Structure formats: C-alpha cells, structure tokens
Amino acid sequence: MINPPSKEDLIVSIIEFLENDIIQELKGQKRFHAHVAKNSLNIVLRQLKLEEVSSEKEKDRLSKILKTDKTIKEMNKILCSKIDNNNIDIDNNELIDHLFKTTMEKLEIDQPNYSSFLDEKNKP
C-alpha cells in the first residue's frame, strides 16, 4: 500500500522547487514575489508543525488566568476586556508570563529568525 505524501512533505517539495528551480530564473518583481511565496509556505509549514501545541498551551494559560474554559478567541476577548477595565493587574506575573510565552510561540511560527526572538530564545 502506498501512502500519499503528508501535507508537510508536499509543502517542502514546493518550497524546494521554488528555491532550486524557479527563483534563480527570475528577476525583479517576479523574483521578489517568488521569495514571498516561499516564505509564506515556510510559515504554513511551521504552523502545521507548531500551532496545535502552541494553541493548547495558550488555551491552558488563559483558562488558568481567567478561571474559565472557552475558545481561545473568546478568552482573549475576555482578557482584553479585563485589562481595559482594570479588572486584572497588568503587573500580574501570571499575565506577564502568558503574554511573553504567547508572543514567543507566535514568533517561532511567523518570524523564527527575528534577532530579538533568537536572543531571547537562546538565553540560558
């Protein structure tokens, strides 16, 4: 039985095709757009690999802070409202930790080569 390629394998093959066969043949705006397409596919690849676990962690942290269990979108809306209405202390260590971790997880998907992200990630 032959298994079809995974989503990740399909995306990697397209990225490699763009990188090895297409981009070097292009110039100017078309070359730039091919790089944008390649970078977008790399983001999708990282989303497939990391986003589920990242979302679970975010949901767990929000549930703990808000003492409720709703969707991430609903809890983020509640959190924003509580911050806006001064119902949660912005100096709350649990909140700060959550915001930091959520930001780092999102950067790891969107901008993993961002210098400040790398500096923080590589701290002992």
- Residue pair 72/59 in contact by the 8 Å Cβ criterion: yes
pLDDT (mean) for 83-100? 96
Please check the confidence at residue 4 and state whether its pLDDT lies above 80: yes
pLDDT band at 75 (very low <50, low <70, confident <90, very high): very high
Please check the confidence at residue 1 and state whether its pLDDT lies above 80: no
62 exposed, middle or buried (CB, 10 Å; 0-12, 13-18, 19+)?
buried
User: Alpha-carbon distance 39 to 90, whole Å?
Assistant: 35
pLDDT band at 113 (very low <50, low <70, confident <90, very high): very high
pTM of the full structure: 0.84
- Which tens digit of pLDDT belongs to each residue from 13-54? 999 999 999 999 999 999 999 999 999 999 999 999 999 999
- Close Cβ partners of 94 (under 8 Å, ≥ 6 residues apart): 61, 64, 65
- Close Cβ partners of 78 (under 8 Å, ≥ 6 residues apart): 66, 68, 70
Mean of the per-residue pLDDT values for the chain? 96
User: Alpha-carbon distance 19 to 84, whole Å?
Assistant: 46
Please check the confidence at residue 2 and state whether its pLDDT lies above 90: no
SS3 at position 93: helix
- Nearest Cα residue to 41 out of 7, 75, 71, 68: 7
